[in-house]
Amino acid sequence: MRSALSVAALAAVLALSACGAQEPGSASEDTTEASETRTATAEPTTESTPTPTPTPSPTRVPGTYMLGETAEEFAGGVLTLKSIEVVQEVATTDGVPITAAEGEQLVVFHTHFVNNSNGTVDLSCAGVLTWYVQVFDTEQRELAPVFETYRIPGNPECNYQLLSGQESDWNFVFRGIAGATPRVLQITDTRTYEDWIAWALTDEPLRLAED
C-alpha cells in the first residue's frame, strides 16, 4: 500500500511539472490557488452539552419522620425520637439488668415527650393512654414491648403524673429477633385506630405499602 501511494504521488508531481513547462503562467495561478486552499480554515463546530436531569428527592409521606426529628402534636402529645440502640442488656435503677433472651435482642428508644393534653400522663407505668406504640423490623416483623420502663434510668418514677404542658425524657425498650434491623416506630391514636405517625429507624424514608 505504501509503494502504491509513492508511485501515485510521484506521478502527480510529474504531471504538475509538465504543465508548468508548457504554460509558464499557470504555475503562479496554481500556487495562488494552493495557497488560498491552505489558508482556508474550517468553521469550528459547536457541540451542545446536554443538561443533566436532576434526580428528584423522594417525597416524604405525611405523618412520617426520620430518626432525630420531632413530630407535630399527635393525640395529646409531642414526641422527639432522639436515638435508638440495639443491645443485649439494659442497665436498671435497681442494679439488675434487663437481659435479652437467647436468639433475641433489645432495642432501646431514647425519646422526649411533651404532654399537650388536658389530662395527666404516667409515662413509666401506664404510658400515653391515647397512644398504641408498635415497632417493626425490616422484615415487617413486630417487636414486643418490655413493660419495665419504670426501671430504666432517666425515666420518671412509676405513678409520677406529668401535668398538662410538662415534659420529660422517656426511654423504653422492645424485644426483637437477634440480628434484625429495626425499621419503623409507629404510634396509632387509640381513640380511632385510624390516625398514626411513624419514624423511619434507618436512613431510608418511609413509604406507604401501596407504593
Other Cβ atoms less than 10 A from the Cβ of 28: the count is 10
Range of lowest pLDDT (32-46, 91-105, 156-170, 194-208): 32-46
Q: How far apart are CA 61 and CA 67, in angstroms?
A: 15
pLDDT at 139 over 80: yes
CA separation (Å) from 133 to 43, 147, 150, 154, 170? 71, 12, 17, 20, 13
**93 shares its domain with 184:** yes
* pLDDT of the residue at 209: 67
**121 shares its domain with 159:** yes
Range of lowest pLDDT (30-34, 102-106, 192-196): 30-34
**19 shares its domain with 82:** no
149 in a structural domain: yes
Domain that holds residue 14: 2-37
Return mean pLDDT, the chain.
Answer: 82
Q: Which is more confidently placed, 207 or 21? A: 207
Dump pLDDT digits (tens) for 43-54. Answer: 555 555 666 666
110 in a structural domain: yes
210 in a structural domain: no
Overall number of domains in the chain: 2
Dump pLDDT digits (tens) for 109-138. Answer: 999 999 999 999 999 999 999 999 999 999
Phi, psi of 115 (to 5 degrees): -85, 105
